[in-house]
Each structure stands twice: as C-alpha cells, then as structure tokens.
Structure 1
Amino acid sequence: MIRKPFVALVVAATLAGCNTSPVEPRRPAAELPAKPAAADIAPAPESLSAARTQLSLMAAENRITNTLTWAGEYLQQERAEDAKQLLAELNPQALNQQQRFQLTLLHGRATLALQNPRETLALLTQEQDNILQYPADQQAQLDLLRADALAMSGQLLDSLQQRVAAHPLLSDKDQEYNHNMIWQLLMQLPATDLAGAIDKSSGDLLGWLTLAQLYRDPIADLDAQVTRLNQWSAQWRTHPAVNDVPVMLEALEKAASQRPSQVAILLPASGPLETVGATLKQGIMTAYYQHKQDNLTPTLRFYDSSGDDILAVYQQAIAEGADFILGPLAKEKAATIASQGTLPVTTLALNYVDEEQPLPDNFFQFGLAPEDEARQIALQGFQQGDTQAGILYPKGDWGQRVAQAFADEWQALGGTVTAWSEYQEGPAIGDTVEELLLVAQSEQRGKAVSRFTNLKVDERPRRRQDLDFLFLIANPDQGRQVKPALNFHYAKDLPVYATSLIYSGMSNPRRDQDLNGIRFVEIPWLLGDENSALHQLTDEQWPEGHGRYERLFAMGIDAYRLQGRLYLLNALPSSEMPGVTGRLRMQQQRIVRELNWAIFSRGEARALPQVSAPATLSSRPGSATTSR
C-alpha cells in the first residue's frame, strides 16, 4: 500500500473515478449509463457555455445522457466546477433510476473534488430514500462516496465504519480501492481514538483496528509483534486484511533478526554543542528505560564526537563491537562519514547532509529539519484549495533556506507566490508588513481615482487581495510583532501558518495573546497527553524539563526507537512510526516528519484535531487546520 497524504489522495481518487487510465491508488470507474450510438454523442465541448448551447438543441433523452457523460469527462479533466454546473441543469425528477444514481454519484464526486464534503453529505442525506431503492452494488458505491466525505470532514472513525460495512458488497476493483483507503485511515487515526474504538467495535472493524494497533506500536518488542501478528492471522482467517499480514510478518521478522545488539551513540560532550548533545542523550536514555523490560534491549555506548577526527571515533566504536551507529550530530561530520563509501554498519546520522551528496546504502538521516515543516505547510495549503501564498521570513541564510523550501514545494504543487519579503526584528517590521500587503498603494489608488470622477469612491486603505494565506517564519518575539502589524494593516482575516519556531514550548498566555489566530505545526510531544506513561517517566527523571531544548529531548526519544525500526521503515514504503517528534516515514534514506497542528487561542497553544496529517481540507470554519 502506497502512502499519500489522505485528503489529497481522496481528491485524486475522486477525480480518477471517471477515468479509464490506471491511477495508483485509484477509485474504480463508476458504471456510466450505456452510451447511445456514436452519432448521438460527441466529446464534451471545451467551454461550459458551448456545452449548454449544444445541450439546449438536443431531445430530452439525449440531453440527459450527454449531460451525464460530459460531466464525467469534465471530472476527468479536473474541471469539477464545470461538471457541477452542468449537472445542475438536470431535473432529478425527470430521470430514471439509473440516471438519478449517476447524477448523485457524479455530483457528489464533483463536490468532493471542490473540497466541499459537507455538501456531499447533505446531498447523500437528501437522496437517502432513493438510494435505498438502488441495487446493492450502487448503494455500496455511494457508501464509498459518503466515506470519502466523512474522512475529509475529519470524521475518520465514521468513515472507517462506513467503508468496512460496504466492503463485502463492492466489486473486486472497488474493494482494492476501499482496502487501501481503510489502511490509510487506520494509519492516521490518533492512537487514543484507535484504542477507544477497539473497546466499542466488533466484527471486521475490530479486526482492522486491532491489526493497525499492533502494527503501529512504536515501543513494542519486535518479537512480541511477530507473535501477535501470527495470533491475529489465526483469529481472523477470513478477514479482508489477512493477505496483507505475510508482508508485514516478513518485514517484522527481518527487522527482528537485524536488530542491533550494541548501539554506539556519537554525541558532542564538550564545545558549543555540549548542551544539545546532553539533551539528546537524556532523551535516548529515557526511551531506553521505557524499553528496558524488553528481552533484547541493546547495549548503549556513548562516544564524544566533539573532536576534529570523527572518523577515528567512528572506527573506535566499530572496533569495540558496535553493530549500529547513532550520530554524529554535526552536519559536516555526518557528511564526512557518508563520503566513505560502503559503511561497515548501519548508521543513522542525527542531521541531514546535502541532498546532492551520494549516500552509502546503509546510511540514513534523522533530524528536526524546519524544511520538512515548510513543505508540510505548503501541502496543507494545496489540500485546502488555496492557490496564492505570501512568505514572510527573517533576514539571513537560515530564514531564506526555509522560505525557499516552502516556495519550491508550493510551486511544484501548482501554487503561486504572490508576495515574498524578509524582515528585520524591531520597529521596521510594521513597515515591512505594510509594504508586503500593498496597503499604501491601495490608498494612493483610491485618492487618484477620486480626483477624476464625480462618483463617491471609498478611499479607505485596504490590503492586497491576492493572498490566500501567509507563510510566516518567526520565533515568538518576532511573531508578537508581526501578527499585530498584520492586524493593524487590515489583514486580521488573513490566515497565517507558521513553523514550530513560533512556539516556545512553554505556556505564556500573557505574552502570547499577540499570537492569537496563528496556526502552526508542532511535534506531538509538546501537544500530547501529559498524563501518558512516557511523560510521567520523563517528569520523574527531569522534573525541571528542558526549556527551549524540549524538542531535542523528544528527538532523542525517537532516535532510540528508530534504531530498532529502521529496517521496517526502509523495507516497507507504506510503513511509518508514530513518534513523539511526528509521524515518521522513510523517503530516500531520510526520516521525514509529519507534525501535528495547533493554534494560538487566548494566548495558549491548543492542539487542533488530528484529521489527516496534517489536517482535512474541508470547510474553512470548523475543520482542524483550515478553519479560519
């Protein structure tokens, strides 16, 4: 199963629903009404107005058939709005049962492609009496449509229930699509929701939920997971997912057989990175103690990597029995090891080397790259249907690099950067924001027009309107200057999305009032359940916390967990690990993080409902990350 961001996958599958060419994973084509003779039908006209003109000249039955066929073609061409408008010309009362089914299916897919799941759900509710009269296979196709809409609305468990109930009634192709989407949902359902659903479920749904729980467990002993998977297979012999288990078992068994027995950890113990190294070590040791009950917990040995000769330290660790290397932390030292060609043992560097540098097959990278966050925010904007973005970043190479990562991803997705500006902290931020928003120009235009007309002209200044949202790179102090400046310059309604840099990690409601309304990505560790066993263990060991280094502490936890899961992530493209720094997956020998979403409200950072990593694109006001 190929993992894709769920909402984008739903939209892609919706558009693929009327397509006959292979799309992976794809929605099987709906059954179209039987086509009339070739002389009676033609390809859909290029323009909607031409289509309406031609349809108006047709006899009633041909008009209905062509409207449905052309709407399907427009959906194939990703012209969902045109498809929806064309379908609106039909009177449902004038259609036979097959045509009304097709109208409902196409209309629902168009509204989903336009990212309006509430409209889709309302349509299906309105048509419910008619739907009950359709054959079972048609009802099942509309059940899948409802499941897609529920997922896009953030109702993941309801979507799962709908999919599982409909599954036996689907065709083989529909089952393949549905099977994939069920697994996508299970991988994105928050762990607490997953556990709660298990207690309330039965039948095939319970089988799916328990399989996902044991597969996703990031702290389970690998041998125990293999045993539990075998037990699951024995218990659920006729379950739709039973054929997936052998692949999981093979990967888990191989991961268990390749589990390291001695891990060498290369961290700086002196110099400018001493505190960073110490914090990472504390996170690693906390995770180690949590796993201590496992029978095969590896031996850990720490080495000081702060010296100049990192290769000597690396070779010493191997000579002393290490069969897995964790580190080093410094980027240039990681690059030095990566440049050695084939490495004697698997190595997970705690930083990222330049993408152009060729890597040994057993060299991997993990870190807290802000570029990942920038790309996630770009994807979120794309998923919610935005097309125009502004970028505001602090002056300097670092800010420019993160801004460029966002811009590259945003433009690759088809978006346009309509405003791009750097700022310097201090009084000049207000001027930078005003220039970014083109407020002065709007005021000047209004005055100029009023000089040459007798009409009353609204001369009040206003911000530019070619921005769907602003991507902001700022620390808390900078953000406390930027957001009030945006509010002052008529952009209070402009959505602002920020990286985790905006949040200090500590509650400060009095000062953070000025950040209200900013949405940002953040690691689960800082937004999660403070009563979890791991948080309690951490509080016992480090009651004072780690202040601004808390994210590095969380990185240490995930770094330890990854040493046992690296093979699994590398071997199965669909696999991921729910870590405390994000949902972790492998991409070209890099561990990529997908963070949770939060919003500043009344000066507090509040977690937003986790819908589809990062969030659903549905309605702006009520959805997790897209509500304005």
Structure 2
Amino acid sequence: MEFRKAYLAALLAAAVVAGCSTTPSSKTKVYETPAVATPRAPTDAPAALSAARNQLAGMDADERITSTLSWASTYLGEKRAADASQLLADLNPGQLSSEQRFTWLLLSGRAQLGQQQADKTLTLLQQYQDEILQYPAEHQAQLDLLRADALAMQGKLLDSLQQRVAAHPLLSEDDQGYNHNMIWQLLMQLPNTDLADAIDGSSGDLRGWLTLAQLYRDPIADLDAQVTRLNQWSAQWRTHPAIDDVPQMLDALEKAASQRPSQVAILLPTTGPLQTAGKALQEGIMTAFYQQQKNGQPPTLRFYDSGGDDVLAVYQQAVTDGADFVLGPLAKDKAATIAAQGTLPVTTLALNYIDTDNRPDNFFQFGLAPEDEARQIANHGARKGALQAGILYPEGEWGARVAQAFVDRWQELGGSVTITRTYQEGPSIGETVKEMLLVAQSQKRGNAVSRFTSLKMDNQPRRRQDMDFLFLLADPNQGRQVKPALNFHYAKDLPVYSTALIYSGEDNPRRDQDLNGIRFVDMPWILTDDNQALHDAANEQWPDGHGRYERLFAMGIDAYRLQGRLYLLNALPSSELPGVTGRLHMENQRIVRELNWAVFVGGKAKTLPQVTETGQNNLPHAATTQ
C-alpha cells in the first residue's frame, strides 16, 4: 500500500523505535481521510451559501437531496464546515434513504468536528445508534472512525484508540492507512502512566499496539536493547497490523546504534554572565545521564568551560581529547563562531539558535525558542477557525522578534492581523489596552448617531469586534495587569493565547487569579509529572528545584537525550522525540518543540487535553494540542 511504503515504513520505522515518535510535521505529507462517496450534483456548488440555498429551493426532492450532500462535501473540502452544517441541517433525515442517511451522518459529523463540536458529533451518532447497527460493516466502521475522532478531540485518547483498533479490520485499505497513522499519533500522545495502565488491562491487537508504543517511547533506553526487544515483539506478534513495518524499523535502529557517540564534550559556561544558566543545564544533563546508566552503557561525558573569550580553542581541545560529539556552546555568538568554521570535525549540537542559514552539514541547534511557541499559537488559532488576530507585546527587540514569528506563521496560514500594539509595564498598560480595543471610539460613534436621529440608541461602550483572539506576550507580572484591563474594557470573552513566559512554573493562586482564562503553551516538565522517575531523581538530587531556571534544567535533560537520537531525527525529518521540553522534531538542522496547552483556572495552571487537528478538510483527528 502506498501509504505504508511512503509513510509508515520509512518514517515510523526508525524514529519511533529509538524513542522517537512519528507525527506529521508541517513539511510532511499527511495521509488524508478518504473522501466520502457522495452523489454527484447536476451542477457545481455555488460559491455563496445563500446562492446554494436559493438554487436548492427550486429543485425537486431527489435533486435537492443529491445536490445538498454533494455541495456540503465540497464546502468541507474548502474548509467551510459551518456552511456545510447549514446545508445539511436543511435536510429532513426522515426523508432520506438508508444510504443517503449514512452519507448525511458522516458529513454532518465531520462538519461538526470542523467547528470543534465533538460533543454534537457524539450525540448525533448516539441518536442514530440503532440504525447504524443495521448498516453494512464497512459503513459502521467509517462511523466508528468518526466517533474516534470526536473522542480524541475531547482528549479521551485511550477511548479513541480502543475504537480505532476495534474498527481497523473492517476498514477499506485506504481507511486502514489513515487509521494506522492516527493510531500511532494517539499512542505517542498517551501519558506514560496511562500507557502502562492500558497494557495491563488490554489484550489482542490493542495490547500489541500498546506494547510496541511503550518500546518506542523510551528515549534513553539502550539502542542495542531496543533492537532485542523489537525482535522479541516481532516474534510474539507475527500477524499484527504493524508487523510489516518492523524490518525497516530494525534496519534504521541498528544504523542509529552504530553511529551513537562514545565520548561527548559538553561546552557550558561555568564562568561569566551565563554561568547560572550553564549550571542548570549541566544538572539536567547529569540527571538524564544517571537515568541512562540504569538502563545501559552511556557515553563518556567531559565538561568544558565555554564562558571565556576563545570558544574555538575550547572546541578544538574537546576534539583533541577524543570527543566524537560536541554539545554546546550556549551563547548565541559563540555558537555562530563555531558554525562559521565550515565543515566541523565532529557532529555538534549548539544549545541556542543562530540567525544564519549558512551552517555546516553536521552543525545542529537546540534551544528554548519562544518563536516556536508563537508559531504553535498561530497554528492553534487557525485550527480553531479564527481569521483575525490582535497582538500585544512589550516594547523592545525581543518582543518584536517573537511577535513577528507569530505574524509570519499566521499570515502563511491565511490569517490577518487587525491590530498590533506594544506596551510599557506600569500604569499605562490599562490605557494601551483601552486604546487597542477602540472602546472610546465605540461610545463616540453611538453619541454621534444619537444627535442625528430620534431613535433611542444604546450608547454602552463596546470593544472592537474584529479580533477572534489576542496573542499576548507577557510575563506573570505584566499579564496580571493586561488581563484585568481586558476584562474591564469589555473584552472578558476575548480568547487570549500566550507563551510559556506568562507562567512562573509554580502555582500562586492568590496572585494568579488575575490571569484566569489565559491559555498558554508550556513544556511537559512544567505542566505534568508524567515522567515520574525523572521528577523523582531531580527532586532527590535538587530538592529546592531550580527556580526560574527550571526550564533550562529540563532542556539539559533533552539535550543529553538528543546526543543519542540526533541521527534518527536528522535522517527522518518527520520523526519526533517525546521530550520533557516538548515533542521534538527537526527542521533544517534545527530542533523544534511542540508544547502542551494549559489554562489559568482559579489562579492555577490547568493542563488541557491533548488533541490533534489534522486530516482531510482540516478536520480534527487524534493527538496534538488543544
């Protein structure tokens, strides 16, 4: 099957087994949901919904039904889920044949998912459950996939997974390709504790999927041990749906094992202005190192101080000492100095991002880039159906750079920016927010109209209505001023999305009440305790934590993991590493993070369910972020 050859066998193969998961990146061709077999209408769907309804009103019953189903399918293909829903709602299901009602159910459910209405999809399927049980098996299986998509959108990943695995044997080959992909995405997003618990209570193909996923998702396991475990899995599950992918998985895993470094030089500042950050990174690296020691033979680590002026001399000394992999340096300018040397003697993973595209082939970059967070927020806004965004960020080069990353991605997705404002911390924030929302102008317009009419006008001030959400860059102190100002100036209902900067990393309910309602992205290490063994080890070694450097400590954990997995991420650009700083994948020799979502409720950060929104018609499917 083309999908299996082009996607799973090549992409899933290597990356997931060695602790990497495969979920489609922005540059990966996503396997699309097979199109619904809808009757072909006599004419093409009109561009405007009103025109479509006018034409349908003049048709006889059979032609109207055929055209409605066909045009609704067209609108879904054009990402016009709301228009498709309205057309489908005009049909009386009781007047449809069984085949037509199946198509109506499938299209209606997809249209509701396209509007983020998973609960309505599940209610619809439940309403027709008795009739669905009378459908042919392949029809039932397609509706089972629809139910699975809705469950995943609600964050019920295990329920969705169970639905998919049960339906899989009844699907067509094309549908199986799509379902295979989505099963993997769900498996890669299940929390570790849920995955372990699910294995204990499962059997059959589901247990096979779950045990294979557990094998894949160990990012610090010994590579040779993973090869052995994969061979054992293959022997036990000879007829499993994933068995055809295993030979290429083994081949890729063995190549990764042959290229793993034996001595890693770590260039971190132990002197100078970045020494505290360097210390947090070093302690994260050692935490991951000690964890790997329990599971296999880790590489030799040697640390070098990169806080001085001559980073090239430090780098050369590390290579002379026998390093076959260099991790660091941290400072952006020093990373750029190394990259400017041309071909490097050993593979190097800098712990920052540089601004040039002229890099050696064996020079890679990893850091905590807020620009990645801004782009993820833009993706989320588009998936939610938003078209217009406002931006509010602090004055200065940093804020402008991150805001621009959001703008570039948002416009690439077809969105528009209706207002951009900067602010200075202090009493002026309230006035900046009021001016951005055009509250005063709305009241003036109402007063002006009242002077020229005898009609009684509602002159209550209102905020502007041309923002679907606000992208806010703010730290906790700034956010505690901005959000109350938004609430006061009639924008309490305006969705506000922010980066990890908005959260201190520690719950402070008394002070953070003023942040209630703000949604933000942050790394799993901060938001969850899913990787309990690492959290326990960190708490034992550093019971006081690392304060505002906690995220850098987590970055050290992932930096260490990457030295053993970099080959896989580079060889298979669509693969992912389930890291503590996010789901990590590579784009142009640059590690990019996909973070979790949370929202402030009662002054505390509440993690949101992980869902995904990919597939045909931009409809949501299982396992990325809410």
TM-score over 0.5 (shorter chain)? yes
Following TM superposition, by how much is the alpha carbon of 1:113 offset from its aligned partner in structure 2, in angstroms?
A: 2.4
Deviations 1:565-602 (A, max 9, x none): 11122223342122111111112211111111222222
Matches of 2:419 and 2:334 in 1, distance apart? Answer: 37
Following TM superposition, by how much is the alpha carbon of 1:9 offset from its aligned partner in structure 2, in angstroms?
A: 8.5
**Residue number in structure 2 paired with 1:400:** 400
1:500-519 matches, cutoff 5 A: 500-519=500-519
Matches of 1:208 and 1:175 in 2, distance apart? Answer: 15
Deviations 1:219-243 (A, max 9, x none): 2121111111111111111010111
Matches of 2:258 and 2:94 in 1, distance apart? Answer: 64
**Residue number in structure 1 paired with 2:260:** 259
**Residue number in structure 1 paired with 2:283:** 282
Matches of 1:80 and 1:510 in 2, distance apart? Answer: 41
Structure 1 residues 49 and 384: alpha-carbon distance in aligned structure 2, compared to 1, 3 A threshold: closer
Normalised by the size of structure 2, how large is the TM-score?
A: 0.91
Matches of 1:611 and 1:77 in 2, distance apart? Answer: 22
Structure 2 residues without counterparts, runs of 5 or longer: 1-6, 13-20
Question: Which amino acid counterpart does residue 231 of structure 2 have in structure 1?
Answer: N
Matches of 1:458 and 1:172 in 2, distance apart? Answer: 60
**Residue number in structure 2 paired with 1:488:** 488
Deviations 1:312-370 (A, max 9, x none): 2111111110000000111111112112222211110000111x422222111100001
Following TM superposition, by how much is the alpha carbon of 1:506 offset from its aligned partner in structure 2, in angstroms?
A: 2.6
Asked if 1:298 is matched to 2:304, the reply is no
Matches of 2:610 and 2:96 in 1, distance apart? Answer: 41
**Residue number in structure 1 paired with 2:463:** 463
CA contact (8 A) 2:24 2:30 kept: no
1:214-233 matches, cutoff 5 A: 214-233=215-234
Question: Which amino acid counterpart does residue 93 of structure 2 have in structure 1?
Answer: P
3-state SS, counterpart of residue 135 of structure 2: coil
Moved over 4 A (4+): 623-626
CA contact (8 A) 1:389 1:416 kept: yes
Following TM superposition, by how much is the alpha carbon of 1:173 offset from its aligned partner in structure 2, in angstroms?
A: 1.1
The alignment covers a number of residue pairs equal to: 603
Question: Which amino acid counterpart does residue 343 of structure 2 have in structure 1?
Answer: T
Matches of 1:170 and 1:514 in 2, distance apart? Answer: 50
**Which shifted more, 403-412 or 337-346?**
337-346
3-state SS, counterpart of residue 576 of structure 1: strand
Structure 1 residues 132 and 381: alpha-carbon distance in aligned structure 2, compared to 1, 3 A threshold: same
1:341-380 matches, cutoff 5 A: 341-354=342-355, 356-380=356-380
**Residue number in structure 2 paired with 1:554:** 554
Following TM superposition, by how much is the alpha carbon of 1:130 offset from its aligned partner in structure 2, in angstroms?
A: 1.6
CA contact (8 A) 1:251 1:571 kept: no
Asked if 1:30 is matched to 2:36, the reply is yes
Deviations 1:4-46 (A, max 9, x none): 9x9x989x9xxxxxxxxx974111223334x6xxxx8232333
Deviations 1:247-292 (A, max 9, x none): 3222221111111110000111211111111111111111111112
**Residue number in structure 2 paired with 1:538:** 538
Structure 1 residues 60 and 503: alpha-carbon distance in aligned structure 2, compared to 1, 3 A threshold: closer
3-state SS, counterpart of residue 407 of structure 2: helix
Matches of 1:544 and 1:128 in 2, distance apart? Answer: 54
Following TM superposition, by how much is the alpha carbon of 1:475 offset from its aligned partner in structure 2, in angstroms?
A: 1.2
Following TM superposition, by how much is the alpha carbon of 1:453 offset from its aligned partner in structure 2, in angstroms?
A: 1.8
Matches of 1:47 and 1:473 in 2, distance apart? Answer: 38
Matches of 2:544 and 2:105 in 1, distance apart? Answer: 58
**Residue number in structure 2 paired with 1:596:** 596
Matches of 1:379 and 1:81 in 2, distance apart? Answer: 20
**Which shifted more, 86-95 or 200-209?**
86-95
**Residue number in structure 2 paired with 1:320:** 321
3-state SS, counterpart of residue 279 of structure 2: helix
Matches of 2:213 and 2:446 in 1, distance apart? Answer: 60
**Which shifted more, 425-434 or 595-604?**
595-604
Following TM superposition, by how much is the alpha carbon of 1:625 offset from its aligned partner in structure 2, in angstroms?
A: 7.7
**Residue number in structure 1 paired with 2:242:** 241
Matches of 1:120 and 1:463 in 2, distance apart? Answer: 33
CA contact (8 A) 1:530 1:536 kept: no
CA contact (8 A) 1:153 1:618 kept: no
Matches of 1:158 and 1:577 in 2, distance apart? Answer: 24
Deviations 1:424-476 (A, max 9, x none): 01111111111111111112112212222222222221211212221111111
Structure 1 residues 101 and 510: alpha-carbon distance in aligned structure 2, compared to 1, 3 A threshold: closer
Matches of 1:85 and 1:460 in 2, distance apart? Answer: 33
Following TM superposition, by how much is the alpha carbon of 1:531 offset from its aligned partner in structure 2, in angstroms?
A: 8.6
CA contact (8 A) 1:517 1:599 kept: yes
Structure 1 residues without counterparts, runs of 5 or longer: 13-21
Question: Which amino acid counterpart does residue 435 of structure 1 have in structure 2?
Answer: E
1:2-151 matches, cutoff 5 A: 24-33=30-39, 41-151=42-152
CA contact (8 A) 1:117 1:618 kept: no
**Residue number in structure 2 paired with 1:331:** 332
Matches of 1:291 and 1:351 in 2, distance apart? Answer: 24
CA contact (8 A) 2:192 2:531 kept: no
- Among the aligned pairs, what percent are the same residue? 71
**Which shifted more, 603-612 or 218-227?**
603-612
Normalised by the size of structure 1, how large is the TM-score?
A: 0.91
CA contact (8 A) 1:568 1:575 kept: yes
Matches of 2:604 and 2:83 in 1, distance apart? Answer: 43
Question: Which amino acid counterpart does residue 264 of structure 1 have in structure 2?
Answer: A
**Residue number in structure 2 paired with 1:269:** 270
Question: Which amino acid counterpart does residue 108 of structure 2 have in structure 1?
Answer: H
**Residue number in structure 2 paired with 1:157:** 158
Following TM superposition, by how much is the alpha carbon of 1:612 offset from its aligned partner in structure 2, in angstroms?
A: 3.7
CA contact (8 A) 1:609 1:624 kept: no
CA contact (8 A) 2:474 2:501 kept: yes
Question: Which amino acid counterpart does residue 431 of structure 1 have in structure 2?
Answer: E
3-state SS, counterpart of residue 408 of structure 2: helix
CA contact (8 A) 2:389 2:469 kept: yes
3-state SS, counterpart of residue 348 of structure 1: strand
Question: Which amino acid counterpart does residue 437 of structure 1 have in structure 2?
Answer: L
CA contact (8 A) 2:373 2:594 kept: yes
CA contact (8 A) 1:286 1:537 kept: yes
Following TM superposition, by how much is the alpha carbon of 1:166 offset from its aligned partner in structure 2, in angstroms?
A: 0.9
3-state SS, counterpart of residue 290 of structure 1: helix
Following TM superposition, by how much is the alpha carbon of 1:530 offset from its aligned partner in structure 2, in angstroms?
A: 8.3
3-state SS, counterpart of residue 586 of structure 1: strand
Question: Which amino acid counterpart does residue 322 of structure 2 have in structure 1?
Answer: G
Deviations 1:512-558 (A, max 9, x none): 22222222111111222289222221122112211111111111111
CA contact (8 A) 1:598 1:625 kept: no
Matches of 1:23 and 1:400 in 2, distance apart? Answer: 32
Following TM superposition, by how much is the alpha carbon of 1:624 offset from its aligned partner in structure 2, in angstroms?
A: 11
3-state SS, counterpart of residue 374 of structure 2: helix
Question: Which amino acid counterpart does residue 565 of structure 1 have in structure 2?
Answer: R
Q: CA RMSD in A?
A: 2.6
Question: Which amino acid counterpart does residue 176 of structure 1 have in structure 2?
Answer: G
Structure 1 residues 225 and 492: alpha-carbon distance in aligned structure 2, compared to 1, 3 A threshold: same
Asked if 1:607 is matched to 2:613, the reply is no
Question: Which amino acid counterpart does residue 36 of structure 2 have in structure 1?
Answer: A
CA contact (8 A) 1:251 1:572 kept: no
Matches of 1:145 and 1:554 in 2, distance apart? Answer: 37
Deviations 1:134-180 (A, max 9, x none): 11111111111221222122221111111111111111111111111
Asked if 1:415 is matched to 2:415, the reply is yes
**Residue number in structure 2 paired with 1:193:** 194
Structure 1 residues 285 and 32: alpha-carbon distance in aligned structure 2, compared to 1, 3 A threshold: same
